[in-house]
Amino acid sequence: MASPPEEFSSYPGDAVAYDYWKLARQQTDLSMRSRLIASALRFASSESARRAIEKLLTDLTVTRSATAPRLPVYRLETESEVPKVLPVVGRLPLTVAELQAVPLIEEEEPFGIVRFAGAGAWVPIPGWQVVLNAEDPVVFLAESDRLPNAASQTEELLVMVDRAQRQWDALNYFVVVVDDQLEIQWFETQPSIPIVGKVLLVMLPKKVLDEDYNKELWQIDE
């Protein structure tokens, strides 16, 4: 905040007069400017302050005060705009112990902050409905050839599993334990091997057709 000019002393009356003087200098409306000048003169304690205020009667220059910029405030409008932060178990092959070692995460509202201790890896997932409805979700990385019905092109995938959903049904894929290793399988009937979670989502990496093109500074999103 700018200090008052030297014409205004440290007396309380001059401090009030300075505020009115400053407002009067910013006014383009002459009647309002005159009322502010009159108020400043009423409170002025020192002769130097009175002279500074009286100059405004003949000097009609308008002095605009600098306006502080607006804060860059944005409100989240939809749940999908809030990413879900999930723990990453690792990369297949994985053991059931490694899956179970990841703690249940608890988010703090309203921004979904996750607190954790120690080393770990985390990944943000868009707030799609299937993600928000998961009770105990974790993710792991896997090459596509490790999944059932693998595509001919091998690429790295991110697999989201809900450890809380261990009840078999024929409409979904599940993570099971085979020789202490995790596998993703589909079962036509109730399996005899342990189910440790249901596969909720298999996410492909973002495909960029021309990455260098998108980095050009002159490219503007419409």
Average pLDDT, the chain: 81
Structure confidence by residue, pLDDT tens digits, 178-208? 988 999 999 988 989 999 999 998 888 776 5
Tell me, yes or no, whether 129 and 184 share the same domain.
Answer: yes
Domain CATH code at residue 133: 2.10.109
Structure confidence by residue, pLDDT tens digits, 7-41? 888 888 898 999 899 889 888 888 888 999 999 99
| Angle of CA points 166, 168, 174, to nearest 5° | 70
Average pLDDT over residues 42-59: 90
Tell me, yes or no, whether 90 and 191 share the same domain.
Answer: yes
Tell me, yes or no, whether 194 and 85 share the same domain.
Answer: yes
pLDDT-derived band at 119 (thresholds 50, 70, 90) equals: low
Tell me, yes or no, whether 54 and 101 share the same domain.
Answer: no
Sign, Cα dihedral of 109, 113, 118, 119: positive
Tell me, yes or no, whether 88 and 56 share the same domain.
Answer: no
Tell me, yes or no, whether 46 and 111 share the same domain.
Answer: no
In-domain check, residue 210 = no
In-domain check, residue 89 = yes
Tell me, yes or no, whether 192 and 128 share the same domain.
Answer: yes
**Structural domain boundaries enclosing 130:** 79-203
Tell me, yes or no, whether 55 and 85 share the same domain.
Answer: no
Question: b/e for 22-57, b at 16 or more Cβ within 10 A?
Answer: bbbbebeeeeebeebbebbbebbbbeebbebbeebe
In-domain check, residue 73 = no
> Measuring CA to CA, which residue among 168, 173, 172, 171 is closest to residue 183?
173
Tell me, yes or no, whether 38 and 94 share the same domain.
Answer: no
pLDDT of 199 reads 93
The rounded distance, in Å, linking the Cα atoms of 135 and 159 is 16
Stretch (H or E) spanning 165: none
In-domain check, residue 144 = yes
Whether the pTM exceeds 0.85: the reply is: no
In-domain check, residue 221 = no
Question: How many domains does the structure of the chain reveal?
Answer: 2
